[in-house]
Amino acid sequence: MKISGMIDESMDTEQLKSDPEPWEFRAKPTWQRLLIMIGGVLVNFLLAFVIYSMVLYTWGESYIANKDVTYGVMIDSTAQKLGLQKWR
């Protein structure tokens, strides 16, 4: 999607030669152009946060509190390599 009047200076040399129309992006004040660009970045960040939250909620790790582990935990060789010890 392209905003009308937002041009690439390295490629659109023909359009740079003409005066900007009042409705074009390049004719707007700097603060308005800055708000548009910040808005795009902010929406991308918020969308990524929402998608990440949904994925984590759906397929995230489950946590078992220590008080709920009444029968203990089975420790295998991989867990022992990580530093867990069997209860003696």
Reference 6, options 43, 23, 35, 38; nearest CA is 23
Number of structural domains the chain divides into: 1
Residue 72 one-letter amino acid: G
C-beta separation of 20 from 27 below 8 A: yes
Residue 6 located in a structural domain: no
Residue 4 located in a structural domain: no
Residue 40 located in a structural domain: yes
Q: Which span out of 7-16, 18-27, 44-53, 57-66 was modeled with the highest average pLDDT?
A: 44-53
Residue 53 located in a structural domain: yes
38-80 pLDDT, tens per residue?
Answer: 998 999 999 999 999 999 999 988 888 888 888 877 788 888 8
Residue 63 located in a structural domain: yes
**Which domain does 26 fall in, by range?**
13-81
Higher pLDDT, 5 or 44: 44
Residue 74 located in a structural domain: yes
Residue 87 located in a structural domain: no
Return the pLDDT at 88. Answer: 60
Residue 35 located in a structural domain: yes
